[in-house]
Amino acid sequence: MAKQLALDMFGTKDAIIRLDMSEYSDRTAVSKLIGTTAGYVGYDDNNNTLTERVRRNPYSIVLLDEIEKADPQVITLLLQVLDDGRLTDGQGNTVNFKNTVIIATSNAGFGYEANLTEDADKPELLDRLKPFFRPEFLNRFNAVIEFSHLSKEDLSKIVDLMLAEVNKTLAKKDIDLVVSDAAKEYMTEEGYDEVMGVRPLRRVVEQQIRDKVTDFHLDHLEAKHLLADMEDGELVIKEDTNSEK
């Protein structure tokens, strides 16, 4: 989602500054965000701090992954960003965040439904997050979105998106790929995992489409129109003889 948003807003999927907040779980992590002040170790090496990365790339998605793992002092600094749209680094420079979009992801409350009795009412989303986050932090976000488990119907749509990316890559070599409905259904079944989400599907597409297309192309350099189909329970790549030349 963050990559697509970066592409839509800033023209490239690379316009993302991602922070794994599990690496910011103690107070010393504050220096990773804003750098160290003069006289402290690392003063001259602040290139990878959040403030420096935003200063260099002001039009970016700032992705705070697993925000619930961040130290309270780190959360306090982030409150300043969410409140004022700016943050002062360790050297006293003010960095403007007003052209960034901040996304915080969290697994807080994951599996909550499994602990509910059949007749119990499901609390509101914000009520479920309150044990994990300070109210003033939650109140700073414009929206809080809950992601549900992906269904097989969802994955079938994601397969189409992934295959479009494959064809975009192949087009650079003047190659196109048609994937049969049977092959798409096979990949959806193989890649479905309610807990793991879309990652298993991505691996399936990588192994069954990208890798096999590469192998086929190396053996058939003249073939420009390819077909992915099922034969004897396996996904195979072959030349699409029905394609218009």
pLDDT digits (tens, 9 = 90+) for 43-79: 455 678 999 999 999 999 999 999 999 998 999 999 9
Q: What class has domain 152-239?
A: mainly alpha
Is residue 41 scored above 60 in pLDDT?
no
Q: How confident is the model at residue 40 (pLDDT cuts 50, 70, 90)?
A: low
Q: For residue 74, what are its two tokens? A: 């780190």
What Cα–Cα distance (Å) separates residue 32 from each residue in 64, 78, 171, 200?
A: 13, 13, 41, 32
Strands 86-88 and 234-239, by their bridges, are unpaired
Give residue 111's pLDDT: 56
The whole-angstrom separation of Cα 239 and Cα 224 is 8
Q: How confident is the model at residue 122 (pLDDT cuts 50, 70, 90)?
A: low
Task: Average the pLDDT over 128-136 and give the result.
Answer: 85
Q: Where in the chain is the domain with CATH 3.40.50.300?
A: 2-138
Is residue 232 scored above 60 in pLDDT?
yes
Q: How confident is the model at residue 31 (pLDDT cuts 50, 70, 90)?
A: confident
The whole-angstrom separation of Cα 226 and Cα 240 is 5
Give residue 120's pLDDT: 46
Q: How confident is the model at residue 156 (pLDDT cuts 50, 70, 90)?
A: very high
Give residue 44's pLDDT: 53
- The dihedrals phi and psi of 61, each to the nearest 5 degrees, come to -90, 125
Q: Where in the chain is the domain with CATH 1.10.8.60?
A: 152-239
CATH superfamily of 2-138: P-loop containing nucleotide triphosphate hydrolases (3.40.50.300)
Characterize 220-244 residue by residue with b for buried, 16 or more Cβ atoms within 10 angstroms of its Cβ, and e for exposed.
Answer: eeebbbbbbbeeeeebebeebeeee
Give residue 110's pLDDT: 60
Q: Tell me if residue 106 falls in helix, strand or coil.
A: coil
What average pLDDT does the chain have?
87
Q: How many residues does the chain have?
A: 245
pLDDT tens for 4-24 read 899 999 999 999 999 999 999
Q: How confident is the model at residue 113 (pLDDT cuts 50, 70, 90)?
A: low
**Helices (H), ranges, the chain:** 2-10, 30-34, 50-56, 72-84, 125-129, 135-138, 152-170, 181-190, 199-205, 211-219
Task: Average the pLDDT over 224-229 and give the result.
Answer: 96
pLDDT tens for 72-101 read 899 999 999 999 999 998 888 899 999 999
Give residue 54's pLDDT: 95
Strand ordering across the sheet containing 61-65: 16-20, 61-65, 101-104
Q: How confident is the model at residue 145 (pLDDT cuts 50, 70, 90)?
A: confident
Give residue 129's pLDDT: 84
The whole-angstrom separation of Cα 61 and Cα 6 is 6
Contact between 40 and 78 under an 8 Å Cβ cutoff? The reply is no
Q: Say what percent of the chain tops pLDDT 90.
A: 59
Strand ordering across the sheet containing 176-179: 176-179, 225-231, 234-239
Is residue 230 scored above 90 in pLDDT?
yes
